[in-house]
Amino acid sequence: MSAVLFETLACAGGATLGVATLNAEKTLNALSHEMIVLLHAQLAAWQADPAVALVVLQAAGDKAFCAGGDLQNLYASMRQHHASARRGDVLGNDYALRFFSDEYRLDYLIHSYAKPVLCWGHGIVMGGGIGLMAGASHRVVTEGSRLAMPEISVGLYPDVGASWFLNRMPGRLGLFLALTGAAIDASDARFVKLADYQLAHAAKAEVIAQLRRQPWSGRAGDNHALLDEVLARAQHAGEAAEPGPLRRHIDAIDAWCAGPRLAPIVARIGGIDSDERWLQKAVASLRHGCPGSAWLAHAMQERARHLSLFEVFQLELGVSLACAAGPDFAEGIRALLIEKDMRPRWQPASLAEIDAEWGERFFVQPWTAQNHPLQASANASV
């Protein structure tokens, strides 16, 4: 059975609807390299096919759209790289280079796709799953959606373009989410502009049926507007979603995350005293998370503040490969997913041990702008 299922559905007027279904339900549709390659090839083909009016991106099962990247194979590649003669060389892990390069190419393709892309983000949407969803032109969340960038728990940092979209959230909410890995519901996903519509998951079949009845044309702009109309009609009329915890606490979060220095921010978040379970989990994730990841998450948002989306992906590729070459990413996966002892040994073990010299190695790009692996993606989008 293929890791991604593709089909085209006939619509009124002769147009077709391309449907891509992540098909790894047992792993919560974790994004493998095979899935990335399959998706990129098919989306590119549909982009060039004048018969395809729009694309639907969905997933098998009711538990998750995509719970993140497939970390098992990345872990194996890091273990092999760390034991090789090329350890320390950020380009020494061929699998990590292919995985991250191809993932970011796919994410950028979705962001720059001319035709409408409807992403049905039901259930768990984390890490690489948000990378797929964030760039879609029409992003649907449901009563069961839970979105998070939990990389601090595995020794990475929020990537897949997160350095760009977290920076564009209201106030300092993006930094708070990066440091705590806090999960947000459908209401908060719309509030921070990670989603556009909140629909009942049970309405999905009828939405697809409605899409097949529409008079799609060969003009992408008209089709974007028509898809907006369909989703707006499907959205619960007159039902105002309750504000989520992120929105309720926005003033406090802005105060906790105020200022340019990371150490006081971490101290303020760590000192939160609350009976609310959501805040307790956020604080615990930061306390037990990787100090290097917290430093990187903060540094990336600062460095990416004035970069274009494509420049962010270029920057993230080098940083992600540096993470794969270092100790924390593999250690975080080991503790969380491999041995599951939940006792990661972070290096460095505290934020106080990190200085500028330690951090600068993540930003030494191993390519020039002209020979960067993602450059062809930028040229193709022009």
Residue 176 belongs to a domain with what CATH number?
Answer: 3.90.226.10
Q: Are 40 and 380 in contact (CB under 8 A)?
A: no
Alpha-carbon distance of 14 to 52, in angstroms, equals: 9
Alpha-carbon distance of 215 to 117, in angstroms, equals: 17
The predicted-structure confidence for 192-214, as pLDDT tens digits, reads as follows: 999 999 999 999 999 999 999 99
What type of residue sits at position 299? A
Per-residue confidence (pLDDT) for residue 281, from 0 to 100: 98
- What are 271's two structure tokens? 């000192």
- Cβ atoms within 10 A of the Cβ of 144, count? 17
Alpha-carbon distance of 361 to 292, in angstroms, equals: 12
Alpha-carbon distance of 147 to 80, in angstroms, equals: 32
Alpha-carbon distance of 83 to 75, in angstroms, equals: 12
Domain residues for 247? 4-381
Per-residue confidence (pLDDT) for residue 239, from 0 to 100: 56
Per-residue confidence (pLDDT) for residue 236, from 0 to 100: 66
Per-residue confidence (pLDDT) for residue 8, from 0 to 100: 98
Number of H helices, E strands in the chain: 18, 9
Q: Which residues of 176-198 are buried (b: 16+ CB within 10 A; e: fewer)?
A: bbbbbbbbbbbbbbbbbebbbbb
Per-residue confidence (pLDDT) for residue 250, from 0 to 100: 98
E-state strands within 192-344? 197-198
Residues of the chain with pLDDT under 50: 237-238, 382
Per-residue confidence (pLDDT) for residue 79, from 0 to 100: 98
Alpha-carbon distance of 326 to 347, in angstroms, equals: 9
Instruction: Provide the CB-side half-sphere exposure for 37 (13 A, CA).
Output: 7
Q: Are 98 and 90 in contact (CB under 8 A)?
A: no
Per-residue confidence (pLDDT) for residue 380, from 0 to 100: 60
Per-residue confidence (pLDDT) for residue 153, from 0 to 100: 98
Nearest alpha carbon to residue 58 among 217, 199, 224, 222: 199
The partner residues of 7 in beta bridges, in order of sequence, read 19
Alpha-carbon distance of 57 to 18, in angstroms, equals: 9
Per-residue confidence (pLDDT) for residue 238, from 0 to 100: 42
Residue 221: exposure state from Cβ atoms within 10 A (0-12, 13-18, ≥19): exposed
- What are 261's two structure tokens? 């220095």
Alpha-carbon distance of 147 to 150, in angstroms, equals: 9
Q: Are 192 and 170 in contact (CB under 8 A)?
A: yes
> Which three-class secondary structure state does DSSP give residue 21?
strand
The predicted-structure confidence for 134-193, as pLDDT tens digits, reads as follows: 999 999 999 999 999 999 999 999 999 999 999 999 999 999 999 999 999 999 999 999
Q: Are 36 and 102 in contact (CB under 8 A)?
A: yes
Per-residue confidence (pLDDT) for residue 11, from 0 to 100: 96
Alpha-carbon distance of 294 to 331, in angstroms, equals: 15
Count the domains in the chain. 1
